Amino acid sequence: MAKHTTDTGKPACCGPGVLTACTIKNVEEKNVTDKKNTRMQQLGYRKPADVPEPDQLVLVEFVSDGRVAIITLNRPHADNAITTELAAQLIEVLETIAARSSVRVAILTGAGDRAFSVGGDLYQRNEMTKEQWLRQRQVFDRVLYTLRQLRRPIIAAVHGMAYGGGCEMAISTDFIIASDDAVFGQPEAMVGLSAGGGSPVLLPRVLPPGRAMQMLMTGDPITAQEAHRLGMVNELHPSDKLMEEVLRIAERIADNSPTAVQAVKRAVQMGQGEPVEQAVAIMMDEHWRSVVHPDRVEGIRAFTEGREPTFPDPDF
């Protein structure tokens, strides 16, 4: 007698909405597989490949006539996990960019195709003394502070995993453009830590507070699609098109008056959380600086003459 099948060719017992021994068996098999891995491993964490560490843990490339700096976390063998040494090099790169007047926009991304960054390197931390841990915490804090305080606009180009300190670095930038395979998570509670890189403060500002709280308490990540729907991510693109699209946005910003762009950034940052009238006062202070700046003269003159304006590098 012929076996009864569904349109998909599967046995009828496996049809949608049918909870039978067949369905239960599949669930049990999945549960057995999941139990072989820890929760952290199920998130995608893995032991770093046994290869020599690169000399340059952070790469920087200047493109678009030097106006755009692409900063790349360069530990792909470890999913760009952040060591004390990588963090120290990242500070140097950010401070170099801050002092380089020709740079108008920065992009932060990660090497390889698996991760933006999975956060602090837990294998390094496992071997640390208390003093080494405290030193690393100070270096990490300085990285995140420097990201937040950089005068130039900085965009996070996120692909793959952005966990822990990696997610915190992303939300410390001005905005995030992500690939459609990106995932964002704060799994610190899974290893006995309270998140300390800013996510308890910053995450509820880019997500509904309850959703942020769930991420921080469970350690479960959210997909790029959910992050985009909730406003944490500005745009989604295929992974092979991500850098092309981020560079397009960076060049659009670089074409504008750097003085005006930096003024807008300060007005938004300093006005957040302030009462409306105080925030408006901050905004107007930045506005009047732009009114008396030569970029305003050049911009309006170019408009009336039917040409593109030519804005010099910022003078502060």
Is 131 catalytic? The answer is: no
Considering the candidates 29, 92, 168, 308, report the single residue annotated as catalytic. 168
Report the candidate in 14, 117, 106, 126 with the shortest Cα–Cα distance to residue 75. 117
Considering the candidates 188, 251, 274, 277, report the single residue annotated as catalytic. 188
Cα separation of the two ends of the chain: 83
Is 188 catalytic? The answer is: yes
CA dihedral 75, 113, 37, 221 (to 10 degrees): 100
Query: Chain-centre distance of CA 249, in angstroms?
Result: 16
Q: Residues 195, 216: contact at Cβ < 8 Å? A: yes
Report the candidate in 58, 100, 94, 97 with the shortest Cα–Cα distance to residue 76. 58
Rounded CA gap, 203 and 187, in Å? 13
Quick one: the chain helix, strand, coil %, rounded to 5? 50, 15, 35
Q: Residues 57, 47: contact at Cβ < 8 Å? A: no
Print burial letters for 285-313: b (CB count within 10 Å at least 16), e (below 16). Answer: ebeebbeebebbeebeeeeeeeeebebee
CA dihedral 81, 84, 90, 92 (to 10 degrees): -170
Name the residues annotated as catalytic: 168, 188
